[in-house]
């Protein structure tokens, strides 16, 4: 029941605002699907926007993205600075396709200069669908809340079989050690995840094994991607 007077007007305005928001969301999905439709095999690289160009992880991300691009993989990142920039830079300098899925933020996020394809999103959840849907593998470098959010979103989708399982690598044994220990000592012990769930990802320092592992996965399995429920 819609209230009378000012309350009724407020409800009408709120419904109109929500309707426009729905159309913006649909528009972002439509744009993303259209512009990403021709992406073949791809690897998504995650990591902090705050890490500088002289950081070891930045250098590793540049190197790994270049090697993967030479293997024929499209590199997808969040399109911003830090590790995202490193991934796009490595792909571009190797002559590969370098996609940046940028998010509209008041600070920290500005598009880097190493993208062959730049898409802009207002909504995090739309962007995350694009990061997952077109990827053959995830490589997660050290990062903060956003990186961890994207990591656990991917692991949840694999765990619940909403996506075809794919390789997930965490680069930086020292950086991720505390989190992995907590998963073992708290979540597994409490029974909220299984020991098997902790094999959904692999923590490495040596990035040289990542390209071969992704190739072996791609050659041995059909990558079905992420399908929205009907």
Residues 6+ apart with CB under 8 A from 46: 77, 78, 83, 84, 131, 138, 139, 140, 141, 143, 147, 150, 151
Residue 161 has pLDDT above 80, yes or no: yes
Average pLDDT, the chain: 88
Residues 128 and 140 in one domain: yes
Query: Each residue of 64-84: pLDDT tens digit?
Result: 999 999 999 999 999 999 999
Domain that holds residue 66: 38-220
Tally of structural domains, the chain: 2
Cα 58 to Cα 83: distance, rounded to the nearest angstrom: 5
Residues 22 and 134 in one domain: no
Residues 20 and 102 in one domain: no
Q: How confident is the model at residue 223 (pLDDT cuts 50, 70, 90)?
A: low
Residues 51 and 4 in one domain: no
Residues 122 and 135 in one domain: yes
Residues 45 and 17 in one domain: no
Residues 133 and 183 in one domain: yes
Residue 187 has pLDDT above 50, yes or no: yes
Look at 99-108, 148-157, 196-205 and tell me which has the smallest mean pLDDT. Answer: 99-108
Residues found in the chain: 230
Residues 16 and 88 in one domain: no
Span 192-199, mean pLDDT? 96
In a domain, 228, yes or no: no
Phi and psi at residue 29, to the nearest 5°: -60, -45
Residues 204 and 186 in one domain: yes
Residues 121 and 65 in one domain: yes
Query: Each residue of 121-151: pLDDT tens digit?
Result: 988 889 888 888 889 899 999 999 999 999 9
């Amino acid at each position: 029941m819609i209230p009378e007077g000012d309350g009724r007007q407020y409800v009408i305005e709120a419904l109109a605002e929500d309707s426009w928001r729905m159309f913006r969301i649909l528009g972002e999905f439509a744009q993303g699907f259209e512009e990403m439709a021709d992406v073949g095999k791809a690897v998504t690289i995650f990591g902090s926007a705050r890490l500088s160009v002289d950081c070891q992880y930045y250098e590793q991300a540049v190197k790994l993205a270049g090697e993967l691009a030479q293997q024929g993989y499209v590199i997808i990142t969040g399109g911003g600075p830090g590790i995202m920039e490193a991934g796009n830079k490595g792909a571009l300098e190797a002559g590969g396709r370098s996609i940046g899925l940028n998010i509209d933020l008041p600070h920290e996020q500005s598009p880097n200069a190493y993208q062959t394809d730049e898409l802009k999103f207002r909504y995090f959840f739309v962007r995350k669908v694009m990061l997952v849907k077109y990827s053959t593998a995830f490589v997660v470098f050290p990062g903060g809340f956003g990186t961890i959010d994207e990591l656990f979103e991917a692991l949840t989708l694999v765990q619940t079989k909403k996506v075809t399982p794919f390789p997930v690598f965490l680069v930086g044994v020292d950086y991720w050690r505390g989190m992995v220990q907590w998963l073992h000592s708290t979540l597994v012990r409490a029974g909220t995840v299984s020991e098997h769930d902790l094999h959904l990802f692999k923590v490495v320092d040596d990035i040289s094994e990542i390209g071969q592992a992704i190739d072996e996965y791609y050659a041995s399995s059909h990558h079905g991607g992420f399908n929205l429920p009907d």
